[in-house]
Structure 1
């Protein structure tokens, strides 16, 4: 019985999805080594790009799922490399907002180009209907996860 014909139970499915996510991140890490970026470096750049310039460090930390002090060290390195800039928040002079520098934007362009090529390679075996079905499933699973987390917190 192959992996494609083997019956998968619910517990195994979530485990395999987690494993797939880890392997995808490993693939990205390998691809970005040629750019001189580690996992700790490329993820904040992409998250800042998707969240938009002018966000607070705590918001970027929440998006990445890491603690503020850990992010501070990473940001200091990215600032030293010229990828990110800290600017003063006009509404709160004590707060600093994060923006991508021109060099950071250029790096994000390279990163997203590599991601697009890898995604195309991986997903080219699936037709549009299958991609829509997977996207719908993941969206429903994300919503269910959020509902379950909210219920467990309150």
Structure 2
């Protein structure tokens, strides 16, 4: 199996496993991603910036935020300087739900990494972080003939 296929399959299967486990508590990977991005973003971050940060389109995030807001997990706040923009914050209930989601994913991660040395984990994290950085900054090295 080549590196490209391995990365694609790992991402898909990891997300599917996370979704399966989070469904047991009425949550999903997309909800966790949105809430985590909001929780760690500066207060004035807009919906568009959050969507870009997690790599989805604005309307997709809007649907997720509608559900999170209806469940009382996220609150949308008007931007006093630009009424077109909305800022979000995770509510107290949202932080509780997010904590439960992260506990589940932490347990899955620990199980997946059992018997893999810390050195191997660090080396691979460095490699994957470099690839992600190149994708995010558009610095993918040019193709060579």
* TM-score interval, normalised by the smaller of the two chains: 0.7 to 0.9
Mapped contact 2:27–2:101 kept (Cα < 8 A): no
Note closer, same or farther for the CA distance 1:144–1:71 as it changes in structure 2 (3 Å cut). Answer: closer
Q: Which runs of 5+ in 2 are unaligned?
A: none
4+ residue stretches of structure 1 with deviation over 3 A? 143-146
The reply on whether 1:82 has 2:72 as its aligned counterpart is yes
Counterparts of 2:94 and 2:8, CA distance in 1: 30
Structure 2 distance, partners of 1:39, 1:139, is 20
Higher strand share: 1
Q: 1:106 & 1:54 partners in 2: Cα distance?
A: 22
Higher Cα Rg: structure 1 or 2?
Answer: 1
Alpha carbons 1:44, 1:64 under 8 Å: kept = yes
Specify the SS of the correspondent of 2:26. Answer: coil
Could you report, residue by residue, the CA deviation over 1:42-90 in whole angstroms, capped at 9, with x for unpaired residues? 3211222233544210011112222212221221111011010011223
CA distance in 1, matches of 2:4, 2:48: 29
Aligned equivalents of 2:43, 2:25: Cα separation in 1: 22
Moved more, 58-67 or 86-95: 86-95
Quote the residue 1:61 is aligned against. 51
| 1:17 matches 2:2 | no
Q: How many residues align?
A: 141
Label 1:32 to 1:54 Cα distance change in 2 as closer, same or farther (>3 A).
Answer: farther
Distance (Å, rounded) in 1 between the aligned partners of 2:91 and 2:16: 26
- CA distance in 2 between partners of 1:143 and 1:41 (Å): 24
SS at match of 2:56: coil
Q: For residues 132 and 75 of structure 2, what CA distance do their matches in structure 1 show?
A: 32
The root-mean-square deviation of aligned C-alpha atoms, in Å, is 2.1
